[in-house]
Copies of this chain bind each other. A is one copy, B any other.
């Protein structure tokens, strides 16, 4: 029986804790939440875990792995403690909003040799994974161009935006990771541009609400990412991969199977709202993978290195959008703050 502890009892913490508890061969033993309020207690009741504190978790030798689903600023410190305590770790993205801390945490984790998985759940989504598999096994032929659309249903409040690290860090990191997952080649150039088009409140914080990133690989293959804080059609998560033999689309998952046809057209249901529902399968499958990683050493689809590399691309996009020019990327490119 693999014993797990979960840090964070908020929205995403609940998802991971419940998935962990439901897994055959795994048990959720601890929940740690700085607030330790009713959410943590309720989650404990539903999972059979105990609400406890950080030190108890790290000093309990029977704990095999920890789930980091607490606030972003706690990720890096907990990764360091997990590395020190030699506990396997599943960490929500991003590792940190400060790239220097990301690099440092990655080094510590890798030096420790612990198993570490990053929470890029889209890699575990059956649809995105099917696209990757068809490319990887040669069915689709070489991927030449990929376009990703990721839009949230409604803009977050300005208060959230102020502590988010900015839109590039907050939203584009999933897409940067998916580009790497599908292209599997060194990125040669990064071009990005952003605007505040929809939310004056966000504009007042100095941030943007709409962005676009273009990547080229060393061999000339291309990727485009389109992000917006507001999707007029709801939670909009799509992908189009132009490959040698076929074009692969990941469409939105409709919230219902009903189509309503009237004289002015036939209306299909809007996408599921929201990421918890859209990626329910993915969250379940990544927790299974984490337990398999601990128990059998089965390599996970994501590592701390993937977290580092996706964030490095995000930093390059920020530089590009800031200077208004293309960034010559490469294996050694580093943002100024971290170089």
Contact = CB atoms under 8 A, between A and B. Distances in A.
Contact of A232 (B46, B228, B245): B245
Nearest to A263: B234
Interface stretch (A86-94, A95-103, A110-118, A213-221): A213-221
Contacts of A145: 210, 212, 226, 228
Given A267-B267, A324-B326, A244 B221 contact: no
A50 B87 CA distance: 35
A279 to B, nearest CB: 11
A270 B260 contact: no
A131 interface: yes
B226 A147 contact: yes
Interface stretch (A28-36, A56-64, A249-257, A296-304): A249-257
A78 to B, nearest CB: 29
Contact of A244 (B224, B232, B252): B232
Given A147-B226, A189-B324, A214-B212, A221 B195 contact: yes
Interface in A267-281: 267-270
A147 B149 CA distance: 10
A40 interface: no
Interface string A218-236: 0111101010100111101
A242 interface: yes
Contacts of A222: 193, 195, 210, 212
B247 A236 contact: yes
Contacts of A77: none
A338 interface: no
Given A249-B261, A251-B259, 13 more contacts: A130-B258, A191-B214, A193-B216, A195-B220, A197-B219, A232-B243, A232-B247, A232-B261, A233-B261, A249-B259, A264-B270, A267-B268, A325-B326
